[in-house]
Amino acid sequence: MSEGSRVVVLGGGPAGDVAALRAAQLGAQVTMIERAELGGTCLNWGCIPTKALLATADLLRRVRRADEFGLVVPEISVDFTKMMARKEDIVLKMRGGVEGAAKRKGVTVVRGEGRVDGDAVVVGEERYPYDHLVVCVGTEPSGLPGYDMDHPAVLTSNDILRLEAIPQSMIVVGGGVIGCEFASLFAALGTQITIIEILPRLLAGVDQRTTTQFQKMLEKDGVNVHLGRRAEVTGYRDDGVTVKLDDGTEISAEKLLVSVGRRSQAAGIGLEELGVEINDRAHVVVDEYLRTKNPKIWAVGDCIGGLQLAHLASAEGGRAVENALTGEMIPMDRTVVPSCIYTHPEIATVGLNADDAKAAGYEVKLGQARFVGSGKALGEGEPDGYAQLVMDQKTGLLLGATIMGVHAVEMIHEVGVAISEGLSVAELGEIIHAHPTVSEMVMDAAQQAVGVAPYLS
C-alpha cells in the first residue's frame, strides 16, 4: 500500500471521479484537475441530460396513448423551455453530488486546463507533482470534413442540448447510438427526422436481427432512414441546410446533427514527451493493467479507445489506482460489460451477440422470448421487443444476450452476473423469476433455448 502517495488525476469525468475517490480511500494525497465541470461528458453532455430528456419523451408517448388505458386526457403540448430546465436541474444536482464526494474524501479539485510537464501537471502557473498520474481526459464530439461546423444549423451532440426550441425537421448524419437516441427523442417531440448512415445498417455492434427490427419501429414513428449513403451539404441557409446523398437524393431540414463519433483529447498535452504512446486516433496506448509505457502514468476511460461507456470508464478508473497504489496488479477484464441504448424501445446487450458469437466460431443456439407474451409488458402497453440469449451449443454455456424492449436496460444485468459466474443457459432458466414481470422473459428465453419452456418449446 502506497500510503501518502501523490496521485494526480487529469480529468474529472466518470473515470476521473472514481479514480480520485478510490485513490483517496487508499490513503493517497489526491489532486483532480478538470478544465470544465466535474462529471465530464456523461454527467454534463451525455448520459444524464439525454436520459432526462428521453424520460419526458417516453412520458409524452404514453400520455398520447392514454385512451388505450382508459384515460381521458386533454390535448397535450410540450413546454420545451421547462423540459430543458428540468434537465439542467438534474445535472446540477448530480454535479453537486460529485463535488460533495470529493470534498468529503479530501480530494483537492483544481479548475483549469492541465498540461503534463515532467513529474507534474501544470495548470496556469501552478505545478502539481505526482507519484502516479491517471490520465482520463475523455473525448469531444467529432465534426465532419467539408461541413461548416460553426453554422448555427449544424449541431454536435453538445450543441443539441442547448437548443431553445424544437426543430420542425432535422437530418441526423450518423446512425450510431448517439444519432439514434436523439432521433428517438425528437421524433417523439414532433420533429421530422431523417437519419443518414454510411454503413449498411444502424447501430453497428448490435446484431443484424435487432437492428432490422429497431429500424422498422423507428420508421413506424415517422423517421426516414437512408443506409449505405454519404451526405454532402450543398446549401446553408438562415433557416436550415440542404444535403445531397451520393444517390442524388436531396434533403432539406431546419437542423443537421453530426453524430459520427467522438475524438480523444489526449494528444498534445505533454504525454508524448514522457514516452507515453499515442496512436493515430489520439488514443493513449495502455497494457492490460492500464499502464502506459511510462511506469508513473496510467490512462483510463474514453481516451484509451474501445467501448466508450461511463460505467466501464469508472471501473477502469478504480482498477488503475488500485494497481498503482496496492502493488497487486489485476488486469482489466472487459468480458462482461453491459451496453445500453436509450432509444424507444430500449436496447441492451452484454457478452457476445448472435452475429459475433458465430463469427468467433461458436456453434450458436439462440433462446428467444417475445415481449408480446409478457402480461406485464402488455399491461404497460409495451408489447414490442424480445429477450434473446446466446448459447454455446456444445457446452450449454451462456455467451451473451440482446434485449430490446421496455426496461431492457434494467434487465440486462442479471445476464451479466450469470455470464460472470459461468452459468449454463439451463441453470439460468431454472432460477425462478417473479410473475408477472418483464424480467421473466429472460427465464423464458433460457428455457426456450434448452427446449423446456412450457409455452415456447
Name the grid cell of 298. Answer: 496510467
At residue 65, the 3 state secondary structure works out as coil
Residues of the chain with CATH 3.50.50.60: 6-141+263-326, 154-260
Residues of the chain with CATH 3.30.390.30: 345-449
Half-sphere exposure of 223 (CA within 13 A, CB side): 30
User: Taking the chain, what is the end-to-end CA distance rounded to the nearest angstrom?
Assistant: 55
- What is the pLDDT, as a whole number, of residue 3? 65
| Residues acting as catalytic residues | 435
361-405 per-position pLDDT tens digit: 999 999 999 999 999 999 999 999 999 999 999 999 999 999 999
User: What class, spelled out in words, does domain 345-449 have in CATH?
Assistant: alpha beta
- What is the pLDDT, as a whole number, of residue 148? 94
Half-sphere exposure of 154 (CA within 13 A, CB side): 22
- Identity at 86, one-letter amino acid code: R
Q: Report the share of the chain in percent with pLDDT over 70.
A: 99
pTM above 0.85, yes or no: yes
Angle CA 145–285–355, to nearest 5: 75
pLDDT under 70 in the chain at which residues?
Answer: 1-3
CA distance 424 to 392: 9
Q: Which CATH superfamily is 6-141+263-326 part of?
A: FAD/NAD(P)-binding domain (3.50.50.60)
- What is the pLDDT, as a whole number, of residue 327? 86
- What is the pLDDT, as a whole number, of residue 455? 87
**Which of 331, 322, 439, 442 lies closest to 390 in space, CA to CA?**
442
In the chain, how long is the greatest CA-to-CA distance?
71
Burial class (CB within 10 angstroms; exposed 0-12, middle 13-18, buried 19+) of 165 = exposed
Name the grid cell of 159. Answer: 450543441
Name the grid cell of 26. Answer: 487508499
Angle CA 185–188–194, to nearest 5: 70
143-156 per-position pLDDT tens digit: 999 999 999 999 99
Q: Which CATH superfamily is 154-260 part of?
A: FAD/NAD(P)-binding domain (3.50.50.60)
CA distance 396 to 427: 9
